[in-house]
């Protein structure tokens, strides 16, 4: 499909206007499946970000958006409807810029976040307790202010919708900084806001740049009250450091090295099916379970079944509806993953399947589904986030041993426990130090549930009532006796 078929938007949205970068520059967007240029967007500098922050600050200080919940409901409903009318173009464009399989866009990559975020946020505007009588005092919830939303490339629409819809519903103004690899969905969103909604100028802004440091302006500027960031732990630490002088409110959703524990009474075929999901979207998900802990009593059989299953996983052209694994986002990312594969082999893990570049795919940044077995949990591939289609299989002896292995990680974002007994699985899940965890296939990823991590996986919560309150300030007003 050509770029004309997408109807992509090259301009940013600043202060209610679709605009080029002040310096007049742009940068290309590359399709990771074909290595072709599929579009270009404005290449902003710090001056462009300064203008966007000024617009967002003025729009918040104006007070109309923060105070008028009916306006917020109307504007968000208009945006929801505008997105629904543009969904087919958005879908094709997202597959092209992110390399995500089109099959996944009918769920977590596009349709689900678009629908669920708006439904949940519009309900929160009506149902949230904005003010309560505390007896001769009022406790009032007010918008935080200007929120900087910094978004990664792996699930760009999902993360963007999760951040900005809740922030706007809470009465904040927003400056969105998309990842340089996947900016087209963000500029499209800016166009829909500008052309189809009653959002006042400056309430929502989009700044695109090939320079990651342009996003850092958000974290240092005193006019910005909060940062909502999803990305690497290293960048999260940097945001904390440079945001400290202005005491930014932070939500940081960072890396993960999540463990799936199979207990000895679980059905092995179910565990194997779940374990292969590390290959979905080429393993580019922070909450994916990249470590599988198998009891020794089922280990050899499990490795045999996993090796076969990895060989059957459908990958290749992301426009093919039968494919669930496309390319990784860039050549740089592919080389990073291959470096981890080499490290795993050198440190003694057994490469049971994959580990290279598929010979039958001549173009694109593809990596084979990769299975490591006999992995020591202290090894590099078991401790560091690879962010690719790589599963590390680790044997364990007892239930306590499995818990120790799962918790022996700097990360604590997610995980899973599978057992023939939900009660037994739940007891183990309670012992795992993670912000989210699945028991026997249960889902924790919903708009009404808080999402975030322990330890190096982040600070704060996104979504749910806890996430919504993180976008608000609390004021206590004493009343006369």
Residues 230, 290 within the same domain: no
Q: What mean pLDDT do residues 99-104 have? A: 98
C-beta separation of 289 from 409 below 8 A: no
Which residue among 93, 97, 216, 253 is the active-site one? 253
- pLDDT 10s digits, 259-273: 999 999 999 999 999
CATH number at residue 288: 3.40.309.10
Sheet of 289-295: strand order equals 350-353, 370-373, 390-396, 289-295, 258-262, 415-418, 438-439
- pLDDT 10s digits, 201-252: 999 999 999 998 999 999 999 999 999 999 999 999 999 999 999 999 999 9
**Tokens of residue 294, six digits:** 């198998």
Read off the pLDDT band of 5 (50, 70, 90): low
Q: Does residue 424 register a pLDDT over 80?
A: yes
Say what the pLDDT of residue 2 is: 40
Q: How many CB atoms lie within 10 A of CB 338?
A: 16
Say what the pLDDT of residue 474 is: 98
C-beta separation of 275 from 293 below 8 A: no
- pLDDT 10s digits, 206-218: 999 999 899 999 9
Q: How many CB atoms lie within 10 A of CB 7?
A: 13
Range of the domain at 240: 3-254+458-478
DSSP state of 143: E
Packing angle between helix 87-98 and helix 156-169, nearest 10 degrees? 130
- What Cα–Cα distance (Å) separates residue 309 from each residue in 217, 269, 274? 46, 10, 11
Q: Does residue 3 register a pLDDT over 60?
A: no
Partners of residue 138 on adjacent β-strands? 133, 477
Closest CA to 227 of 158, 177, 187: 177
CATH number at residue 245: 3.40.605.10
- pLDDT 10s digits, 383-413: 999 999 999 999 999 999 999 999 999 999 9
Residues 87, 199 within the same domain: yes
Residues 243, 264 within the same domain: no
Q: How many CB atoms lie within 10 A of CB 477?
A: 11
Q: Active-site residue 253, yes or no?
A: yes
Burial class from Cβ neighbours inside 10 Å (0-12, 13-18, 19+) for residue 366 reads buried
Percentage of the chain exceeding pLDDT 90: 98
Say what the pLDDT of residue 7 is: 87
Residues 244, 263 within the same domain: no
Read off the pLDDT band of 72 (50, 70, 90): very high
Q: What is the DSSP string of 16-43?
A: TEEE--TT--EEEEE-TTT--EEEEEE-
C-beta separation of 53 from 224 below 8 A: yes
Which residue among 216, 286, 368, 392 is the active-site one? 286
CA–CA separation, 10 and 311 (whole Å): 40
Residues 420, 467 within the same domain: no
Q: Does residue 1 register a pLDDT over 60?
A: no
Partners of residue 458 on adjacent β-strands? 253
Read off the pLDDT band of 32 (50, 70, 90): very high
Q: What is the DSSP string of 64-96?
A: HHHH-HHHHHHHHHHHHHHHHHTHHHHHHHHHH
Q: What mean pLDDT do residues 336-356 have? A: 98
Number of structural domains the chain divides into: 2
Mean pLDDT over the full length of the chain: 97
Which uninterrupted H or E stretch holds 125?
Answer: helix 111-127
Task: Please give the model's pTM, rounded to 2 decimal places.
Answer: 0.96
Residues 290, 244 within the same domain: no
Residues 192, 266 within the same domain: no
Residues 281, 244 within the same domain: no
């Amino acid at each position: 499909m050509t770029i004309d078929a997408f109807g992509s938007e090259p301009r940013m949205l600043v202060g209610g206007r679709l605009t080029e970068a002040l310096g007049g520059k742009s940068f290309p967007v590359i399709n990771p499946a074909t290595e072709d240029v599929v579009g270009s967007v404005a290449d902003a500098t710090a001056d462009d970000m300064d203008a966007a922050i000024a617009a967002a600050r003025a729009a918040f200080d104006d007070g109309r958006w923060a105070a008028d919940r009916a306006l917020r409901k109307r504007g968000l409903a208009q945006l929801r409807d505008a997105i629904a009318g543009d969904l087919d173009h958005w879908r094709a464009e997202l597959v092209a810029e992110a390399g995500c399989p089109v099959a996944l866009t009918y769920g977590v990559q596009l349709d689900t976040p678009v629908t669920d975020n708006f439904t949940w946020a519009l309900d929160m505007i009506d149902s949230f307790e904005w003010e309560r009588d505390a007896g001769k005092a009022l406790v009032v919830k007010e918008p935080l202010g200007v929120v900087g939303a910094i978004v990664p490339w792996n699930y760009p629409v999902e993360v963007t919708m999760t951040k900005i819809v809740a922030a706007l519903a809470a009465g904040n103004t927003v400056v969105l900084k998309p990842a340089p690899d996947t900016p087209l969905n963000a500029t499209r969103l800016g166009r829909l806001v500008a052309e189809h909604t009653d959002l006042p100028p400056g309430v929502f802004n989009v700044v695109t740049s090939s320079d990651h440091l342009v996003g850092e302006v958000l974290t240092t500027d005193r006019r910005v009250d909060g940062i909502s960031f999803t990305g690497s732990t290293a960048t999260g630490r940097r945001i904390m450091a440079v945001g400290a002088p202005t005491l930014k409110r932070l939500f940081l959703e960072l890396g993960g090295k999540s463990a799936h524990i199979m207990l000895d009474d679980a059905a092995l075929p179910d565990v194997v099916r779940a374990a292969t999901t590390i290959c979905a979207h080429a393993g580019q998900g922070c909450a994916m379970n990249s470590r599988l802990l198998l009891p020794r009593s089922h280990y050899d059989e499990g490795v045999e079944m996993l090796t076969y299953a990895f060989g059957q996983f459908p990958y290749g052209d992301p426009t093919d509806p039968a494919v669930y694994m496309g390319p990784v986002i860039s050549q740089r990312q592919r080389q990073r993953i291959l470096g981890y594969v080499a490290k795993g082999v050198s440190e003694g893990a057994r490469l049971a399947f994959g580990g290279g570049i598929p010979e039958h795919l001549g173009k694109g940044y593809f990596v084979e589904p990769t299975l490591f077995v006999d992995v020591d949990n202290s090894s590099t591939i078991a401790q560091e986030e690879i962010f690719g289609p790589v599963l590390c299989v680790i044997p364990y002896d007892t239930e306590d041993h499995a818990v120790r292995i799962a918790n022996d990680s700097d990360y604590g974002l997610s995980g899973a426990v599978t057992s023939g007994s939900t009660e037994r699985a739940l007891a183990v899940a309670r012992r795992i130090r993670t912000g989210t965890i699945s028991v026997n296939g249960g889902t924790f990823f919903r708009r009404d549930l808080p999402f975030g991590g322990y330890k190096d996986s982040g600070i704060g919560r996104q979504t749910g009532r806890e996430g919504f309150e993180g976008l608000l300030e609390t004021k206590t007003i004493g009343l006369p006796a």
